[in-house]
Amino acid sequence: MYTLLEAQNLVEKHIQNISIPDTPTELYEPVKYVLSIGGKRIRPALVILACDLFAGSVDSALVPAVAIEVFHNFTLLHDDIMDRSEVRRGQPTVHVKYGENVAILSGDVMSILASRLINHSPGVVLNVVHEVFTKTAMQVCEGQQMDMNFEDLLTVSEEEYMTMIQLKTAVLIAASLKIGAILGGGSQTDANDLYDFGLNLGMAFQLQDDLLDTFGDQQTIGKMLGTDIVDNKKTFLMIKALEKGSPQQRKNLTDWLAKRDFKREEKVAEVTGIFKQLKIKEITNQRIKVFYKKSLESLAKLNRPEERKVELSNFASFLINRNK
């Protein structure tokens, strides 16, 4: 049985070995660059763990697992263009390093490469795996569109926010597990239970991300706190604060959202202060626990020996307890 770390290492090795054409250099060098600068390889590792859960041949899951990682990195690449982000994983983003046109096109070819790698799934499940993959991939685009729409909205409801993070983040984690289950020979019910496990975990994961951006330890997470606040991101924290705040607190928040000229530290301190007054951290932590609990319920329903599920429950606990 694979541990999460073993699965991550296996995937990492395989990513470095996939055959990516050399020419045109301008097109494929950025693809290699993006795949070389790391990331935790969580999603492909989940494909492996889910496959292994059914004692399926992990070998047959390796290429589809890499496909998911390639797809995930494609979304980051294009999101970075749309969000004008200049740094990713401590390195310059592709459009900064190679120019915007190259970034668009390299992303395009990565998306197609991902689909091509999915085609390495065994014939008997290819159709199902491919449908889960492409359906999910479209949903991720929908989530990114919603996220962009939020930038122009003054208020976003909690429900809209939850739909957005479900599409942008949670469905790909869920689909990774489902695809792993299908490749491992799990039943449809098993695959769906794992999907639900991943979906709720993905929600918890994103809320934890929102939380760390404001309340994390700067040393540990290795970047400035409060980026979301500075960027006026409609995170769960901000949405809850706008919902729970007194008229005065809400006015202060909307004033900060509207302000064009400000000192970064001052804005972060003031908004974080209001969050603290409203116990937003505690509210968010509580919500994370609800999703975590739901995810464990789906895992419990899964018809596999408990000792086989240990890695996945460890992973869930790691995700919501992480501090970076």
The residue ranges that bind its own copies (CB under 8 A) are: 21, 23-24, 26-27, 78, 81-82, 101-102, 104-105, 107-109, 111-113, 115-116, 119, 123, 126-127, 130-131, 134-135, 137-138, 141-142, 144-146, 148-149
* C-beta closer to its own copies: residue 126 or 230: 126
Alpha-carbon distances of 158 from 148, 240, 243, 291, rounded to whole Å = 16, 7, 9, 15
CB of 290 to its own copies, least distance (A): 26
Extended strands (E) in 105-145: none
CB of 94 to its own copies, least distance (A): 13
* C-beta closer to its own copies: residue 91 or 119: 119
Q: Is the peptide bond before 30 cis (omega within 30 degrees of 0)?
A: no
CB of 191 to its own copies, least distance (A): 17
CB of 306 to its own copies, least distance (A): 36
* C-beta closer to its own copies: residue 9 or 134: 134
* C-beta closer to its own copies: residue 71 or 291: 71
CB of 65 to its own copies, least distance (A): 17
CB of 126 to its own copies, least distance (A): 6
* C-beta closer to its own copies: residue 5 or 112: 112
3-state SS track over the chain: CCCHHHHHHHHHHHHHHCCCCCCCHHHHHHHHHHHHCCCCCHHHHHHHHHHHHCCCCHHHHHHHHHHHHHHHHHHHHHHHHHCCCCEECCEECHHHHHCHHHHHHHHHHHHHHHHHHHCCCCHHHHHHHHHHHHHHHHHHHHHHHHHHHHHCCCCCCHHHHHHHHHHHHHHHHHHHHHHHHHHHCCCHHHHHHHHHHHHHHHHHHHHHHHHHHHHCCHHHHCCCCCHHHHCCCCCHHHHHHHHHCCHHHHHHHHHHHHCCCCCHHHHHHHHHHHHHHCCHHHHHHHHHHHHHHHHHHHHHHCCCCHHHHHHHHHHHHHHHHCCC
* C-beta closer to its own copies: residue 45 or 167: 167
* C-beta closer to its own copies: residue 159 or 307: 159
Distance CA 306, CA 141 (A): 36
CB of 140 to its own copies, least distance (A): 9
CA 240-216-213 angle, to 5 degrees, is 55
* C-beta closer to its own copies: residue 35 or 278: 35
CB of 219 to its own copies, least distance (A): 34
